[in-house]
Structure 1
Amino acid sequence: MENFNLKIGMKSKIEIIVKQKDTAEEFGSGGVKVLATPLMIGLMEKAAMEAVDPHLPTGLATVGTNVNVSHLGATPVDMKAYATAELIDINGKKLTFKVEAFDEKEMIGKGTHDRYIIDLEKFISKAISK
Protein backbone atom coordinates (compact mmCIF):
# COMPACT_ATOMS: atom_id res chain seq x y z
CA MET A 1 0.00 0.00 0.00
CA GLU A 2 1.41 3.39 -0.91
CA ASN A 3 2.07 5.90 1.85
CA PHE A 4 0.55 8.86 -0.06
CA ASN A 5 3.69 10.99 0.65
CA LEU A 6 2.88 11.06 4.36
CA LYS A 7 5.55 10.71 7.04
CA ILE A 8 5.52 9.99 10.75
CA GLY A 9 6.02 13.26 12.62
CA MET A 10 3.88 15.49 10.40
CA LYS A 11 2.28 18.16 12.64
CA SER A 12 -0.25 20.95 12.69
CA LYS A 13 -1.63 23.45 15.21
CA ILE A 14 -5.05 25.14 15.30
CA GLU A 15 -5.61 28.16 17.55
CA ILE A 16 -8.74 30.04 18.63
CA ILE A 17 -9.84 32.64 21.13
CA VAL A 18 -12.70 31.07 23.09
CA LYS A 19 -15.94 32.96 22.52
CA GLN A 20 -19.39 32.49 24.07
CA LYS A 21 -20.45 30.42 21.03
CA ASP A 22 -17.63 27.93 21.85
CA THR A 23 -18.78 27.23 25.40
CA ALA A 24 -20.39 24.13 26.87
CA GLU A 25 -23.38 26.30 27.75
CA GLU A 26 -23.95 27.31 24.11
CA PHE A 27 -23.01 23.93 22.65
CA GLY A 28 -25.47 22.13 24.91
CA SER A 29 -22.80 19.88 26.38
CA GLY A 30 -22.86 21.46 29.84
CA GLY A 31 -24.10 24.43 31.77
CA VAL A 32 -20.85 26.38 32.14
CA LYS A 33 -19.17 29.17 30.20
CA VAL A 34 -15.93 27.32 29.34
CA LEU A 35 -14.62 25.70 26.15
CA ALA A 36 -16.96 22.84 25.21
CA THR A 37 -15.44 19.36 25.03
CA PRO A 38 -16.92 18.75 21.55
CA LEU A 39 -15.26 21.96 20.32
CA MET A 40 -11.89 20.94 21.82
CA ILE A 41 -12.21 17.60 20.02
CA GLY A 42 -13.11 19.44 16.81
CA LEU A 43 -9.93 21.52 17.09
CA MET A 44 -7.91 18.32 17.55
CA GLU A 45 -9.54 16.73 14.50
CA LYS A 46 -8.95 19.84 12.40
CA ALA A 47 -5.29 19.93 13.44
CA ALA A 48 -4.91 16.27 12.41
CA MET A 49 -6.66 16.88 9.09
CA GLU A 50 -4.53 19.93 8.31
CA ALA A 51 -1.34 18.01 9.14
CA VAL A 52 -1.89 15.56 6.29
CA ASP A 53 -4.68 16.51 3.85
CA PRO A 54 -2.64 19.18 1.99
CA HIS A 55 -0.04 16.49 1.20
CA LEU A 56 -2.50 14.02 -0.34
CA PRO A 57 -3.00 13.70 -4.11
CA THR A 58 -5.96 15.56 -5.63
CA GLY A 59 -9.21 13.70 -5.00
CA LEU A 60 -8.12 12.18 -1.69
CA ALA A 61 -8.90 13.44 1.82
CA THR A 62 -9.19 12.07 5.34
CA VAL A 63 -12.14 11.44 7.61
CA GLY A 64 -12.11 10.98 11.36
CA THR A 65 -13.07 7.54 12.63
CA ASN A 66 -12.00 7.39 16.27
CA VAL A 67 -11.30 9.89 19.04
CA ASN A 68 -9.96 8.84 22.43
CA VAL A 69 -9.25 11.96 24.47
CA SER A 70 -9.48 13.33 27.98
CA HIS A 71 -10.60 16.90 28.66
CA LEU A 72 -8.36 17.93 31.56
CA GLY A 73 -8.94 21.64 32.14
CA ALA A 74 -11.50 24.42 31.78
CA THR A 75 -10.78 27.34 29.45
CA PRO A 76 -12.83 30.52 30.01
CA VAL A 77 -14.24 32.87 27.38
CA ASP A 78 -11.68 35.28 25.86
CA MET A 79 -8.71 32.99 26.55
CA LYS A 80 -6.58 31.56 23.75
CA ALA A 81 -6.77 27.79 23.22
CA TYR A 82 -5.00 25.61 20.69
CA ALA A 83 -4.79 22.01 19.61
CA THR A 84 -1.87 20.15 18.11
CA ALA A 85 -1.76 16.91 16.18
CA GLU A 86 1.24 14.77 15.30
CA LEU A 87 1.08 11.79 12.96
CA ILE A 88 2.43 8.85 14.97
CA ASP A 89 1.40 5.80 12.90
CA ILE A 90 0.55 4.94 9.30
CA ASN A 91 -1.13 1.58 8.69
CA GLY A 92 -2.26 1.50 5.07
CA LYS A 93 -5.01 4.11 4.83
CA LYS A 94 -5.39 4.36 8.64
CA LEU A 95 -3.55 7.29 10.24
CA THR A 96 -3.11 7.68 14.00
CA PHE A 97 -2.33 11.01 15.63
CA LYS A 98 -1.24 12.10 19.08
CA VAL A 99 -3.47 15.08 19.89
CA GLU A 100 -3.10 17.65 22.66
CA ALA A 101 -4.86 20.88 23.59
CA PHE A 102 -3.66 23.80 25.68
CA ASP A 103 -4.85 27.16 26.86
CA GLU A 104 -2.74 30.07 28.09
CA LYS A 105 -2.18 28.36 31.45
CA GLU A 106 -2.08 24.57 31.03
CA MET A 107 -2.67 21.45 29.01
CA ILE A 108 -6.45 21.04 28.71
CA GLY A 109 -6.70 17.84 26.69
CA LYS A 110 -4.77 14.89 25.32
CA GLY A 111 -5.27 11.59 23.56
CA THR A 112 -5.28 9.93 20.16
CA HIS A 113 -7.26 10.35 16.98
CA ASP A 114 -7.58 8.05 13.95
CA ARG A 115 -8.34 9.19 10.42
CA TYR A 116 -8.72 7.20 7.20
CA ILE A 117 -7.65 8.25 3.73
CA ILE A 118 -10.63 8.25 1.38
CA ASP A 119 -11.36 8.82 -2.29
CA LEU A 120 -13.66 11.85 -2.04
CA GLU A 121 -15.77 11.07 -5.09
CA LYS A 122 -16.43 7.46 -4.05
CA PHE A 123 -17.08 8.48 -0.44
CA ILE A 124 -19.61 11.18 -1.36
CA SER A 125 -21.29 8.93 -3.93
CA LYS A 126 -21.71 6.16 -1.38
CA ALA A 127 -23.04 8.58 1.26
CA ILE A 128 -25.59 10.07 -1.16
CA SER A 129 -26.83 6.66 -2.30
CA LYS A 130 -27.91 5.63 1.23
Structure 2
Amino acid sequence: MSNPDVEAGLTAVLRFTVTDDDTALAVGSGSLPVLGTPRLLAWLEAATCAAIEPALPEGGTSVGTRVELEHKVASAVGREVEVSAAASYVDGRLHRFTVAARHVVDDRPAEVIATGEITRVVVDAARFLARLR
Protein backbone atom coordinates (compact mmCIF):
# COMPACT_ATOMS: atom_id res chain seq x y z
CA MET A 1 0.00 0.00 0.00
CA SER A 2 1.24 3.51 -0.77
CA ASN A 3 2.45 5.59 2.19
CA PRO A 4 1.82 9.34 1.64
CA ASP A 5 4.00 10.36 4.60
CA VAL A 6 7.03 8.58 3.09
CA GLU A 7 6.29 9.92 -0.37
CA ALA A 8 6.28 13.54 0.79
CA GLY A 9 9.79 13.31 2.23
CA LEU A 10 11.54 11.62 -0.66
CA THR A 11 12.72 14.50 -2.82
CA ALA A 12 16.01 15.79 -4.18
CA VAL A 13 17.26 18.61 -6.37
CA LEU A 14 20.67 18.60 -8.07
CA ARG A 15 22.38 21.05 -10.43
CA PHE A 16 24.78 20.37 -13.26
CA THR A 17 26.52 22.43 -15.94
CA VAL A 18 26.56 20.95 -19.44
CA THR A 19 30.14 20.26 -20.58
CA ASP A 20 31.57 18.88 -23.82
CA ASP A 21 31.64 15.44 -22.15
CA ASP A 22 27.84 15.60 -21.64
CA THR A 23 26.91 16.17 -25.28
CA ALA A 24 25.08 13.77 -27.55
CA LEU A 25 28.22 13.72 -29.70
CA ALA A 26 30.40 12.67 -26.73
CA VAL A 27 28.05 10.01 -25.31
CA GLY A 28 27.22 8.47 -28.69
CA SER A 29 23.54 9.37 -28.84
CA GLY A 30 23.71 11.78 -31.73
CA SER A 31 25.94 14.12 -33.71
CA LEU A 32 25.20 17.48 -32.10
CA PRO A 33 27.11 19.29 -29.34
CA VAL A 34 24.05 19.59 -27.04
CA LEU A 35 23.14 17.77 -23.82
CA GLY A 36 22.73 14.09 -24.65
CA THR A 37 19.62 12.31 -23.44
CA PRO A 38 21.65 9.49 -21.83
CA ARG A 39 23.55 12.04 -19.70
CA LEU A 40 20.33 13.82 -18.77
CA LEU A 41 18.86 10.48 -17.74
CA ALA A 42 21.93 9.77 -15.59
CA TRP A 43 21.47 13.13 -13.84
CA LEU A 44 17.79 12.40 -13.22
CA GLU A 45 18.65 8.95 -11.85
CA ALA A 46 21.21 10.59 -9.55
CA ALA A 47 18.38 12.75 -8.20
CA THR A 48 16.23 9.66 -7.53
CA CYS A 49 19.17 8.02 -5.73
CA ALA A 50 19.65 11.13 -3.58
CA ALA A 51 15.93 11.22 -2.80
CA ILE A 52 15.68 7.56 -1.76
CA GLU A 53 18.95 7.46 0.20
CA PRO A 54 17.43 8.48 3.59
CA ALA A 55 14.85 5.67 3.33
CA LEU A 56 17.33 2.86 2.65
CA PRO A 57 17.86 0.18 5.31
CA GLU A 58 21.40 -0.68 6.41
CA GLY A 59 23.06 -2.67 3.63
CA GLY A 60 20.39 -1.56 1.20
CA THR A 61 20.60 0.22 -2.09
CA SER A 62 18.20 0.81 -4.96
CA VAL A 63 18.24 -0.24 -8.57
CA GLY A 64 16.48 1.39 -11.47
CA THR A 65 13.87 -0.82 -13.11
CA ARG A 66 11.82 1.45 -15.38
CA VAL A 67 12.27 4.82 -17.09
CA GLU A 68 9.89 7.03 -19.00
CA LEU A 69 11.48 10.28 -20.20
CA GLU A 70 10.52 13.04 -22.59
CA HIS A 71 13.49 15.25 -23.50
CA LYS A 72 11.76 18.36 -24.86
CA VAL A 73 14.37 21.13 -25.22
CA ALA A 74 18.05 21.17 -26.22
CA SER A 75 20.71 22.49 -23.83
CA ALA A 76 23.96 24.02 -25.08
CA VAL A 77 27.38 23.49 -23.53
CA GLY A 78 27.72 25.88 -20.58
CA ARG A 79 24.03 25.82 -19.71
CA GLU A 80 23.13 25.11 -16.07
CA VAL A 81 20.48 22.43 -15.56
CA GLU A 82 18.52 21.66 -12.39
CA VAL A 83 17.11 18.15 -12.04
CA SER A 84 14.54 17.11 -9.47
CA ALA A 85 12.97 13.90 -8.22
CA ALA A 86 9.94 13.51 -5.97
CA ALA A 87 8.41 10.23 -4.86
CA SER A 88 4.95 9.83 -6.35
CA TYR A 89 4.27 6.27 -5.19
CA VAL A 90 5.81 3.98 -2.58
CA ASP A 91 4.77 0.36 -2.04
CA GLY A 92 7.19 -1.63 0.08
CA ARG A 93 10.44 -1.89 -1.86
CA LEU A 94 9.05 -0.18 -4.98
CA HIS A 95 9.53 3.60 -5.27
CA ARG A 96 8.23 5.59 -8.24
CA PHE A 97 9.56 9.11 -8.79
CA THR A 98 8.32 11.99 -10.89
CA VAL A 99 11.37 13.65 -12.41
CA ALA A 100 11.96 16.93 -14.20
CA ALA A 101 14.82 18.99 -15.59
CA ARG A 102 14.88 22.73 -16.06
CA HIS A 103 17.29 25.33 -17.37
CA VAL A 104 18.53 27.64 -14.65
CA VAL A 105 18.19 31.37 -15.32
CA ASP A 106 19.40 33.98 -12.84
CA ASP A 107 20.05 31.17 -10.33
CA ARG A 108 16.41 30.00 -10.46
CA PRO A 109 14.83 27.06 -12.25
CA ALA A 110 13.08 28.19 -15.42
CA GLU A 111 12.22 26.48 -18.71
CA VAL A 112 11.28 22.79 -18.39
CA ILE A 113 13.52 20.74 -20.66
CA ALA A 114 12.45 17.22 -19.64
CA THR A 115 9.83 15.35 -17.63
CA GLY A 116 9.31 11.73 -16.79
CA GLU A 117 9.05 8.95 -14.28
CA ILE A 118 11.71 6.63 -12.86
CA THR A 119 10.99 3.50 -10.83
CA ARG A 120 13.51 2.12 -8.35
CA VAL A 121 13.40 -1.02 -6.22
CA VAL A 122 15.19 -1.32 -2.87
CA VAL A 123 17.46 -4.36 -2.64
CA ASP A 124 20.02 -5.77 -0.23
CA ALA A 125 23.31 -4.88 -1.95
CA ALA A 126 25.24 -8.01 -0.90
CA ARG A 127 22.44 -10.40 -1.88
CA PHE A 128 21.95 -8.61 -5.19
CA LEU A 129 25.64 -8.86 -6.11
CA ALA A 130 25.89 -12.48 -4.90
CA ARG A 131 23.25 -13.49 -7.46
CA LEU A 132 25.51 -12.25 -10.25
CA ARG A 133 28.29 -14.71 -9.47
Matches within 5 A, 1:107-118: 107-118=112-123
- Equivalence for 1:121: 126
TM-score (norm 2): 0.88
The gaps in structure 2 that reach 5 residues or longer are 105-109
Paired AA for residue 119 in structure 2: D
TM-score (norm 1): 0.90
The gaps in structure 1 that reach 5 residues or longer are none
Matches within 5 A, 1:35-114: 35-104=35-104, 106-114=111-119
Offset, 1:106: 1.3
| Aligned pairs, number | 125
* Residues 1:50 and 1:112: Cα distance change in structure 2 (over 3 Å): same
Structure 1 runs of 4+ aligned residues shifted over 4 Å read none
Paired AA for residue 50 in structure 2: E
Q: Is 1:43–1:82's contact at 8 Å kept on the other side of the alignment?
A: no
Q: Which moved further from structure 2: 103-112 or 44-53?
A: 103-112
For 1:47 and 1:56, the matched residues in 2 are separated by 15
Question: What's the RMSD between the two structures over aligned residues?
Answer: 1.5
